[in-house]
Amino acid sequence: MSQKHFSGVDLDGVRGFVAVAERQTFADAALSLNISASALTRRIQRLETAIGTPLLERTTRRVALTPAGQLFLPGAQRSLQELTAALRLVDDAGDTRTGQIVVACIPTVAKQLLPRIIRDYRLSRPDVRIRMIDGTVEVVARNVRDGTADLGLTFPTLPDPDFVFDALLTDPYCLVCPIDHPLAALPEVRWTDLKPYQLIISGSGSGNRIILDQALRAVNWQPERPVEIEHLTTSLGLVEAGLGISVVPQSALPGEMSSRIAVRPLISPTVSRTIGLVRRRGVTLTPLAQHFLRAVRRMAPELERESVDYSRKMARSSATGAI
């Protein structure tokens, strides 16, 4: 058979031929395809014309395969099976109801903010698996850049042309100190008020340290012998033990603070970071990751409102000495 015969072979004709060959009657085959027997006959005729030889022998009692039909049937069945399997793979890939999303996140949002986002997302997509990879801002960027993670929940420290950033909420920094510390008696604390005390800060090179160093330079302060830790969330335990004070982003604070810790707004200046989702520029996300991104974007106004409400609550409580 020459190559020119293939142009007239269509999928409907192949499906019709296989259905007739397997059921051995036009009536049953037409019923399985949800078409009329006459429409099925026309499909078979077009297929036979395209191939250039009869595939079926028709009698009043039965339908039989011609020698050409016997040769054609196994390949036709295999092709339809492979096509069905391929279409199922594409359909599964586009299904936003199941599958896995990988989100890289910084530690300070891994305990409070990200679980809150996942909880809300799973109300509509309970069967979606979400894998979390926590690490520094640099680790999050690396995982997103190399494709290990679909998205990163982080904050930008410097502009990066490789990424697209979708802001979700403003996250102010606040003071954390022991409840009996002199600064706990103040309703608001200025950055310069911190100078006499032992400061617990994240290690050099971390995203939070970059922002903190900028704030300290603004008040002409270079702390002597600060206690450096790898993850800023560790500072809460050290503060509770009376080993110093710390500056922590609001989103890193637990829902229920220890009665031995006080939290105070930091002012002059007010310093904050912007938390959001980062993704690779120019790279198409999977349908599931796109759905997750859209869902979290819709949460953004509520997340921002909750952050503002928490700040106001902290300010009121600080004024009364409640926390």
Residue-range domains of the chain with CATH? 3-93 (1.10.10.10), 99-320 (3.40.190.290)
List of residues 6+ apart from 95 with CB closer than 8 A: 287, 288
Report the predicted TM-score, pTM, of the whole model to 2 decimal places.
Answer: 0.69
pLDDT the model gives residue 171? 94
Per-residue pLDDT reduced to its tens digit, 25-83: 888 888 888 888 899 999 999 999 988 899 998 876 778 899 999 999 999 999 988 88
> How far is residue 271's CA from residue 220's CA, in Å, rounded to a whole number?
15
The mean of the pLDDT values for the chain is 88
Higher pLDDT, 257 or 178: 178
pLDDT the model gives residue 1? 44
pLDDT the model gives residue 151? 97
Per-residue exposure over 185-217, b if at least 16 CB sit within 10 Å of its own CB, e if not: ebebbebebbeeebbbbbeeebbbbebbeebbe
Average pLDDT estimate for 259-286: 93
- Percent of the chain at pLDDT exceeding 90: 53
Per-residue pLDDT reduced to its tens digit, 177-223: 999 999 999 999 999 999 999 999 988 778 888 999 999 999 999 88
